[in-house]
Amino acid sequence: MSGFGARLAASVEARGALCVGIDPHPGLLDAWGLPRDAAGLERFALTCVEALAGEVAVLKPQSAFFEAHGSRGVAVLERVIAEGRAAGALVLVDAKRGDIGSTMAAYADAFLAEGSPLAGDAVTLSPYLGFGSLEPALAMAEATGRGVFVLALTSNPEGARVQRAEAGGRSVAQSVADAAAERNAGAVPLGPVGLVVGATLAETGLDLAALNGAILAPGVGAQGAGPADLARLFGGAGLVLPTSSRDVIKHGPDAAAIRSAALRLRDELAG
């Protein structure tokens, strides 16, 4: 495969800048009239793939909602990854893994190694055991042409106490951004290390000019963020991937309605 940054840039160029999350929340299964079991999960997730994988740049299945159903749920996640990629979407597995040593290496094998059924095009990671602890995943991503999105500054109220804390004259979140930029230096058109920065934040305080990677910006749509917020927070920061989940998939179980909602949102964001 070509590098993740090149594939992402090409996908956004062809399909527009939108990432849609596949979040089989129990409440959404109820709203779709589906049972809260592995069969309902499968119907939900594969309908989302049918509706979206041929249209949007990136699909983001939330691993936790699949894992909650045990081995049958993980098997559905494997199908979502395979079928989403086969239909042309990039698949970002939202697993938020972060550990040390051999355990981090095992997570890298699971979500980034060639041939793993859980390996999409990228995975989300947590750097809060130290950015250096992510090395096995960073190395695997580079070796296999995949990407990672590292949590930097999230919108949950609990995050600020850690992420905005200062050490050595800069915030923890800025140190994560700087480490990602260092890893991406020299890559064309983009490096494999993206950041997760919430689109609903009042401000970021981050200098992202040197990142040379993508920014995943969750919170678009139902959570309140729109085009003006993206421009205010990320203007000039490079490739920004607005992300919406329930605001799009709430329109199921009709695949055509889900697709229409995603395309409307994509066009709105493009201005």
Domain boundaries, the chain: 4-270
Render pLDDT for 150-163 as a digit per residue (tens, 0 to 9): 999 999 999 999 99
Determine whether 96 is an active site residue.
yes
CATH number of 4-270: 3.20.20.70
Sequence letter at residue 19: C
| DSSP state, residue 213 | S
Q: Is the dihedral of CA 56, 41, 94, 215 positive or negative?
A: positive
The pLDDT, as a whole number, for residue 36 is: 98
**pLDDT band for position 2 (cuts 50, 70, 90):** confident
The tokens describing 240, both together, are: 């920004």
**pLDDT band for position 224 (cuts 50, 70, 90):** confident
Q: Is pLDDT above 90 for 271?
A: no
Q: Is pLDDT above 70 for 71?
A: yes
**pLDDT band for position 80 (cuts 50, 70, 90):** very high
The pLDDT, as a whole number, for residue 13 is: 97
Compare 117 and 237 and report the one with higher pLDDT. Answer: 117
Query: Choosing from 15, 79, 85, 96, which is the catalytic residue?
Result: 96
The pLDDT, as a whole number, for residue 1 is: 66
Residue carrying structure tokens 């305080």: 205
Nearest to 137 by CA among 115, 102, 104: 104
Over the range 50-77, which residues count as b (16 or more CB within 10 Å of their CB) and which as e? ebbbebbbbbbbbbebbeebeeebebbb
Task: Give mean pLDDT, residues 199-223.
Answer: 94
